[in-house]
Chains A and B, each alone.
Chain A
Amino acid sequence: MSTSRTAPSMRDALYEAPGPRMRRKIRVGTAVAGALVLLAVAAIVRQFWVTGQLAPRYWSLFLQWTTWRFLGQGLLGTVAVALAAGAIALVLGLALMLGRTSGVRPLAAVCRVVTDFFRGVPSLLLIYFFFFVPAQLGMKLPSFWMLTLPVALAASGVLAEVFRAGVNAVPRGQVEAGLSIGLSSAKVMRRIVLPQAVRYVIPSLIAQLVVVVKDTTVAYVVSYPDLMQNARVLITSYDALVSMYLVIAVIYILINYAINRASVYVANRTGVKIIR
């Protein structure tokens, strides 16, 4: 596994070492492509300029400490929901997987249906569910849970499948060996299969956190103060819509990029593949 990192990538292997004529062609192509990319960037900047979106009044708010503090509070809200939802999804996903692989027919069937249901339903629909239905039944749910629960449920379906892939990755012979020395199947699961399966899926679990973070962005539906919701508040008070949404998008991209990198890092360190 460690050799795969030093081996030439597939991208480069596709091409033979170029000769002088090809090198010239590649140089010209690179120049043209570079110019095209620059042209596209220039066109975008020009559009901003023409429409007056580069005016200081749209961007000066980012020089103020209060803006960043308010966004920071929103980010804390996002992190709180993401971590809570992630933790709940972890437990639920594990439970669903254990139920599905338990060998008890009705339980396995129920867990399978639940898993497929949460995987096949958009998280927005679940969020609307927790927004409308508890209120209609006369329950008062804090906005934190209106957001955390649906995000957790949506993620639990996916995590159940990730865990199952991890369990399947443990060689079958180990289970047979465990059973043949007289361990109960529950004990085989707990002592032999799960510890290895969890290790296999850690990078995938980290990668799934990206999905959770993305799902929390619709917090404004339940008016929970997350990063996006706080940005919307700032937009109405500063009237800086384009600049604010762009900055927020970049923040989200960077957070998720960091999570993805972390997942790849752990995967490389432990030499396991990321299951999606």
Chain B
Amino acid sequence: MGLSELLSTYGEKYLQGLLATWSMTAVSFVFVMALAVLVTVARVSPLRPLRVAGDLYVQVFRNIPGVALLIIIAYALPDLRIVLDWRTCVIVTTVLLGSAFGSENFMSGINTIGVGQIEAARSLGLSFTQIIRRIVIPQALRTTVLPMTNLLIAVMLTTALGSQVPLNPQELTGVVSYVNTRATGGILAFLISALCYAGTAFVISLVGNRIDRRVRILR
């Protein structure tokens, strides 16, 4: 099957797939960030139960394979009377996985600040909230730009799990397997989706690098 034939027959599918991947990535990433902040707050709080729960959360979702989590959410939760629609299943999976890595990024961002700065701030008489607002958060955010850029790309790649459930519209990976079960798509059918992914990743890392160069702290 040539490129023109592929595009004329399935072009719209690919376009929908690209948009589905983009929208799932965007929605997931917003929730990833929100949840990552929450988990990180729990992990740095002085309350032990929250710390333990936060650490456990990160260890679990950092180490569980995406497919295993998706299958549990999509096929095991209905047995526990929790039924989500397919798209939500994929997004929830991506958010759980992504937020664990996001929290790790925040933690290492916080850890790079160094105990000395906190001690210095305290000896200057800054209060706890001032230390958090003026010292910790600005620096932690600046140093996590690049890791978070990579996380955004990882979140996009994770949405490929959507091909494992009957999504409508399908995302890029699902489209390829749809095309190939109907026709001999050949290498080209894959290349279209792959270039959509790689192209998006390229743009994301370009923008991320530019932001990082602006705000990076040279140590």
Contacts and interface: CB of A to CB of B under 8 A. Distances in A.
B118 interface: yes
Q: Chain A at the B interface: mostly helix, strand, loop or mixed?
A: helix
A113 to B, nearest CB: 9
Interface in A62-118: 116-117
Chain B CB within 10 Å, residue with most, of A34, A121, A249: A121
A257 B63 contact: yes
B115 interface: yes
Given A51-B79, A122-B160, A128-B180, A29 B47 contact: yes
Contacts of B160: 122-125
Interface stretch (B4-12, B29-37, B170-178, B210-218): B170-178
B132 A14 contact: yes
Contact of B172 (A36, A51, A125): A125
Given A47-B81, A120-B201, A214-B65, A246 B76 contact: yes
Contacts of A116: 198, 201-202
A35 B65 CA distance: 30
A241 interface: yes
Chain B CB within 10 Å, residue with most, of A116, A128, A241: A128
Range of interface residues on A (Cβ < 8 Å): 35 or more
Chain A CB within 10 Å, residue with most, of B51, B81, B118, B119: B118
Chain B CB within 10 Å, residue with most, of A50, A125, A249: A125
Interface string A241-276: 110011011001111110010000000000000001
Contact of A53 (B48, B79, B198): B79
A56 interface: no
Contacts of A9: 111
Contacts of B200: 120
A210 B187 CA distance: 29
Contact of A260 (B63, B76, B158, B164): B63
B201 A119 contact: yes
Contacts of A256: 62-65
B198 A30 contact: no
Interface string B189-218: 010011001111110000000000000000
Given A26-B47, A132-B185, 20 more contacts: A7-B115, A10-B113, A10-B115, A13-B119, A33-B50, A37-B49, A53-B79, A117-B198, A120-B197, A122-B157, A125-B193, A136-B180, A136-B184, A136-B185, A137-B186, A210-B63, A217-B66, A242-B79, A246-B76, A252-B65
15 contacts: A7-B115, A10-B115, A13-B118, A14-B136, A33-B48, A51-B80, A119-B201, A120-B201, A124-B163, A125-B160, A125-B190, A128-B176, A242-B79, A253-B60, A257-B59
